[in-house]
Structure 1
């Protein structure tokens, strides 16, 4: 009798392990690691700043930034920051964006336009990484203004946040 209970408990434990919420697999891409220093009374204190973009290549993307004393910890902290800042964007059947959009952050402006199937991601720098990790396959983007990688990534995110579908617009008009 006790052996049956042990087997039953083992089954329960294993089923709990398998039934945990399966977190979707995120793709992490490093935009930049920079060495930063803070001048203190005792001298210079060196640390590292990591900028990471993560997404599921299916319409979810986020940008994370973090500082730590070593590169590995900075990368890990940036990943957790990116998970907190995830956004969801609508994708068309041709894996493009539904309409033109302009994203702004600081002195950066990003213009994004949908492209026909097969054209690929025509963008540069941090914007390209953000779009690829988000799962957008056909888009044309242009950076205007500042060249700052972090601000360009955040401007791209702000532009992607503004995207809506026809169904969402119809729903808002009917209310």
Structure 2
């Protein structure tokens, strides 16, 4: 990796530093230089994850050798999987210290269902909240595309990742993240997708027999020039949709639906955003079966006021000094 001398400006230094990464990222750029819009290559994505993490390891070894020596093995709790993902031990997971009131209530099991959060429209600022309240959450990378910006030092290439998460039971989220490395973009997109998890309302096509299996009514979502329309379908019809919205609908837990789309659907980013917007609108209005007597209940912040009033700082006991006689 080429080091940037102090004689160059800071902005030029960033660009030259990135050009140093170009030699290591050449294989990744070749894989995702011109991806097909209508196809999602899972094998290529897994390879991109592994290569991206490999690049991150190389850069850390070159630039941060002294830091590793000084820290004395801070990364002992990190394990590397076959896909190249960083997986920390269970001890690291337990070290989550919530910084919001909602996170404190979830950590102490005062809120056990994510529907309680949706009922009061509470903002979710920590992805660990969704991980704890929505078990079985799966994620899939829809697309990784390179984006470029023209600067004085040349073109700056970064990677944009689209990730969809869902549990297949009425919860789905979409995250988009842009970063210099593929692995960083994927990890950031997964976190943003968990923060944007929304409920999806399901209904019936005809008689209310069995569990809800389709969308409750005709809904339309739009993003850019892409418009997606969903129509309820009878049980057994399956998901009649293109490859991109079909994956999002499967993560949302919808079994039968008819879809139609128009616009520039080859732009996968707008296509998946329009599908996500369509699912969000299923709870955008109240149908007559929801016209019930309004009962005002306390929000979790009001109900657990005394608990939240406690100091949240950690008390660290200093070791007693020994006085030698």
TM-score range, shorter chain: 0.7 to 0.9
User: How far has the Cα of 1:54 moved from its partner?
Assistant: 0.8
SS in 2 for 1:61: strand
Would you tell me which structure has more strand in proportion to its own residues?
1
Q: 5+ unaligned residues in a row in structure 1: which ranges?
A: 1-16
User: How far has the Cα of 1:38 moved from its partner?
Assistant: 1.7
Match of 2:269 among 146, 150, 161: 150
Q: Provide the residue aligned with 1:69 in structure 2.
A: 180
Q: Which moved more, 1:113-122 or 1:70-79?
A: 113-122
Q: Provide the residue aligned with 1:135 in structure 2.
A: 253
Match of 1:29 among 140, 149, 157: 140
Residues 112-153 of structure 1 deviation map (CA, whole Å, 9 limit, x = unaligned) = 011122221110032112111111111111111121211121
**Quick one: distance in 2 between partners of 1:170 and 1:138?**
22
Structure 1 residues 108-123: aligned runs within 5 Å: 108-123=226-241
Whether the 8 Å CA contact 1:101–1:113 is kept in 2: the answer is: yes
1:169 aligns with 2:288: yes
Question: Could you say if the C-alpha distance between residues 109 and 165 of structure 1 is closer, same or farther in structure 2, counting changes exceeding 3 Å?
Answer: closer
Q: Provide the residue aligned with 1:78 in structure 2.
A: 189
Match of 1:47 among 154, 158, 179: 158
Structure 1 residues 1-12: aligned runs within 5 Å: none
TM-score by length of 1: 0.79
Structure 1 residues 91-130: aligned runs within 5 Å: 91-92=202-203, 93-130=211-248
User: How far has the Cα of 1:108 moved from its partner?
Assistant: 1.3
1:89 aligns with 2:200: yes
Question: Could you say if the C-alpha distance between residues 166 and 50 of structure 1 is closer, same or farther in structure 2, counting changes exceeding 3 Å?
Answer: closer
Q: How many residues align?
A: 159
SS in 2 for 1:136: coil
SS in 2 for 1:162: helix
Match of 1:56 among 164, 167, 177: 167
Q: 5+ unaligned residues in a row in structure 2: which ranges?
A: 1-93, 95-105, 110-131, 204-210, 295-325
- Larger RCO (CA under 8 A, 6+ residues apart): 1
User: How far has the Cα of 1:165 moved from its partner?
Assistant: 10
SS in 2 for 1:163: helix
**Quick one: distance in 1 between partners of 2:166 and 2:144?**
19
Residues 17-73 of structure 1 deviation map (CA, whole Å, 9 limit, x = unaligned) = 6x9663422111211100112221112222110011111111111111001111111
Q: Provide the residue aligned with 2:69 in structure 1.
A: none
Whether the 8 Å CA contact 1:59–1:135 is kept in 2: the answer is: yes
Cα RMSD for the two superposed structures: 2.6
